[in-house]
Structure 1
């Protein structure tokens, strides 16, 4: 079971920040073999949805209000540690993120820039693809929306 918390950037504790940046780097840079600038200056504008198991961050997303990143509210940096992927934590953290967007930002339309191979996963959460696929940091992505 995940312990979910929703925090502004200023509410994140130092050790939590280190863990979540370590998780993002482990998955997006090392595991996916993608050199890109993860520290993009946008974390300060986001809310952070943090999933902990045994006091360790194993799942995470960040979300933005409409206009802060995209025209619509958005969820990004969706990540679950490799060792924890068989427990359904991706669905748990995304459901918590959708709820946080509704409660914190009072928004119901959400945009994702989703890795294409996860399209069916996001479809199961009510997201629909829009437009053509594109490369983002060398990885195939597709825009998806949930209303």
Structure 2
């Protein structure tokens, strides 16, 4: 199914219709719980305070998604991008890079005085470095998956 050039929707939780929120949660569950074989509580009571960035296919299915957390959720210290996910059926289109670039742009535009921090799965280090993130040296296991803290460096 062909896609138009990436166009994204950015909404607060209470602006998302029920079909779209269902598709977002289904996509996150398919990837983070089923594909990664990780039983964890994805519904963490943060979605209601986050901004939700997503892309739909031409047939109106959500195929790429990221959650942007405002600085208020980190004691005003940083903005965070997380729950970055692309539907398995669309990964060959390299939507992850365009999605992260859009999320970085949104975070910088909305919260220009706050650095962006992510919790990256370690196997994606090079991908995030290619986008301008640097490793902070903080490594940890989250749900038995190696992660690291990374911070975006502006030019």
Q: TM-score when scaled to structure 1? A: 0.95
Does the 8 A contact of 1:109 with 1:146 survive in 2? yes
Unaligned residue ranges in structure 2 (runs of 5+): none
| Residues 19 and 69 (structure 1), Cα distance of their counterparts in 2 relative to 1, 3 Å cut | farther
Q: TM-score when scaled to structure 2? A: 0.90
Deviation at 1:67, TM superposition (A): 3.5
RMSD: 1.3
Give the number of aligned pairs. Answer: 147
| Residues 132 and 105 (structure 1), Cα distance of their counterparts in 2 relative to 1, 3 Å cut | closer
1:58 is aligned to 63
Based on CA coordinates, which of the two structures has the bigger radius of gyration?
2
1:42 is aligned to 46
Deviation at 1:42, TM superposition (A): 0.2
Unaligned residue ranges in structure 1 (runs of 5+): none
Helix, strand or coil: the match of 1:122? helix
2:14 is aligned to 10
| Residues 21 and 45 (structure 1), Cα distance of their counterparts in 2 relative to 1, 3 Å cut | same
| Residues 118 and 35 (structure 1), Cα distance of their counterparts in 2 relative to 1, 3 Å cut | same
